[in-house]
Amino acid sequence: MTSLEQSGPAADDLVVPFQIEGESVRGRVVRLGPVVAEILDRHDYPEGVASLLAHALTLTAMLGTSLKFEGKLTMQAKGDGAVRTIVADYRTPGELRGWVAFHQDEYDAAVAKGVDPGREVPQLLGGGYLAFTIDQGPDTERYQGIVGLEGGTLAECAQRYFESSEQLPSAVKLSAAKVDGAWRAGGIIVQHLASPGFQQEAQDEPWREAAILMASTQDAELTNPSVTPERLLFRLFHERGVRVFEPQPLGVFCQCSRERVENILDQFSAEEMADMVVDGKITVTCEFCNTTYEFDPPAAA
């Protein structure tokens, strides 16, 4: 446990779990610095698209760090707007990756009309769904939970997901911003601990108070490197008493390699491979990390 009043060096790329003393409320603060900058810098996404992916990575880290087993958690948002697909992966014990597919013309048109940060889901993603998939490996069945894109922001959609799929009253806040030219992101979630009578308990005063306090979190408190998660939690909940647990560090990963791409290419026929040749080469780019692999076309038979 960490002392709440101590404000140490900038705390980055970690998740801090916490529990409000004496109450059935728990939560997590996510703080992303170099990790989100590295993932976003590998792509050339426009600002609104990069910001959506930063929110998605924060949300995925928030959920992934609660997994009690080894595996992978994938968040996928599919829309019919300018932004078609957002994918964010979390792999235990704490690694992230992600990518976005979007239509540049439709995005430019949306921006020209003006995108309201509180309505970015309907204005950029449009109608569709948000899915969370948990994969514990080849011998285990996958678990998938889905909710419609029915909130103004990814945080609101996630809140609905928790309430419908997990029956956990939850409040979620996500934020992303460029600070001194580098992307940063952060988020906070508070949840009412699961119990059989949750419907009635959802009205509980302590829970409502925690949710209201949490809602007072400013965007800058989630992204500013000089505000540590401990300091934020102290400001929000010190009157109730808050217990902070060991932070969980976060990093970046990708699963691509030349060998993996080769294995995929091996599944195509010589004819299909011939169709892939551009300027005498077959070029494959990893959607996640934007690494490009070049191959010579198979020798003509």
Q: How far apart are CA 122 and CA 113, in angstroms?
A: 13
Closest CB to Zn ion among 18 and 45?
Answer: 45
* Interface map 203-242 toward Zn ion (x if CB under 5 A): ----------------------------------------
Among 97, 280, 210, which residue's Cα sits nearest to residue 201? 210
Contact 260, 295 (CB under 8 A): no
Helices within 170-204 (DSSP H only): 198-201
Name the segment binding Zn ion (CB under 5 A); options: 117-125, 234-242, 269-277, 288-296.
288-296
Nearer CB in complex with Zn ion: 34/145: 34
Q: Does 125 bind Zn ion (CB under 5 A)?
A: no
Tokens of 28: 């997590």
Question: How many residues touch Zn ion (CB under 5 A)?
Answer: 5
Give, as ranges, the residues between 128 and 167 that touch Zn ion (CB under 5 A): none
284 near Zn ion (CB under 5 A) = no
The structure tokens listed for 59 are 């949300």
Of 25, 30, 82, 289, the one binding Zn ion (CB under 5 A) is 289
For 237-249, b/e burial (b = at least 16 CB within 10 A) is: beeeebbbeebbe
Out of 102, 132, 162, 288, the residue judged to bind Zn ion by CB under 5 A: 288
Q: How far is the CB of 91 from Zn ion (least distance, A)?
A: 13
DSSP string, 238-251: TTT-EEEPPPEE-E
Residue ranges in contact with Zn ion by CB under 5 A = 254, 256, 286, 288-289
